[in-house]
Amino acid sequence: MISQKMGNAINDQINAELFSEYLYLSMQAYFQRINLLGFANWMDVQVKEERAHGMGLFNHLIERGGKVELLAIDKPKTDWSSALEVFEAALEHEQFVTGRINSLVTVAEEEKDRASISFLDWYVKEQVEEEFNANSIIQSLKLIGPDANALLLLDKDLAARTFVAPVIA
């Protein structure tokens, strides 16, 4: 049985992951609005990943005998000035999530919850990948600068991203 403290912390993280889904959906809408459909596709994959992350926590809590309590999801930002600004916001958000995941691991350690510590290791590793992916696109966008042709080539590359359901263990 999972402790109340650990259950509360996981419920808070479920909310954070679902907010992430909502934020990336807003970013997807922005890219669709400005007709960068490859960027929109990249965000669509991110939306699906964040939902999977939230559901992984949801399932862990249920499997451990905890109670899922869905909290209100905050309204995300809806406008940005450029693709670069969007990805800088995405990186900042992922860094925030990394801090939250690290705090969740701390709670698991304090509660001596070995099952949650083991489970959360996947999320720790995933956050390294999330930050790397956002930063890689930021670096590409900085190299591109104001070159519209290069932006459209990157857009075409991002259109190839596909969702692969993660195996959260």
95-109 confidence digits (pLDDT tens)? 999 999 999 999 999
**Please, are residues 13 and 126 in contact by the beta-carbon 8 Å criterion?**
no
Structure token pair of residue 126: 């995933």
- Report the C-alpha gap between 106 and 53 in whole angstroms: 19
Query: What is the pLDDT at residue 125?
Result: 97
Digit-coded pLDDT (tens) for 113-154: 999 999 999 999 999 999 999 999 999 999 999 999 999 999
In a domain, 164, yes or no: no
Q: What is the pLDDT of residue 42?
A: 98
With CA atoms as reference, report the closest residue to 92 among 13, 33, 27: 27
Residue 117 lies in a domain: yes
Q: Is the pLDDT of residue 169 over 90?
A: no
Report the chain's C-alpha Rg in angstroms: 17
97 belongs to a structural domain: yes
- Rounded to 10 deg, the angle between the 114-144 and 83-110 helix axes is 160
CA 47/CA 28 separation, integer angstroms: 8
pLDDT over 90 (residue 67): yes
Helix (H/G/I), strand (E/B), else coil: 165: coil
pLDDT, the chain, mean: 97
DSSP-assigned letter for residue 82 = S
Q: Which amino acid is at 80?
A: W
Please identify which residue in the block is written with the tokens 């720790």: 124
- The pLDDT score that the predictor gives to residue 9 is 98
pTM of the model: 0.95
pLDDT score, position 122: 98
Is 165 inside any structural domain?
no
Domain limits at 43?
A: 4-72+79-158
Tell whether 150 is covered by a domain. yes
Place of tokens 């591109």: 144
**How many domains does the chain fold into?**
1
Domain of 139: which CATH number? 1.20.1260.10
- Segment 39-63, tens digit of pLDDT: 999 999 999 999 999 999 999 999 9
* Residue at 100 is within a domain: yes
- pLDDT value, residue 164: 94
Instruction: Specify if 90 maps to a domain.
Output: yes
Q: Which tokens go with 86?
A: 């969007």
Residue 167 belongs to a domain: no
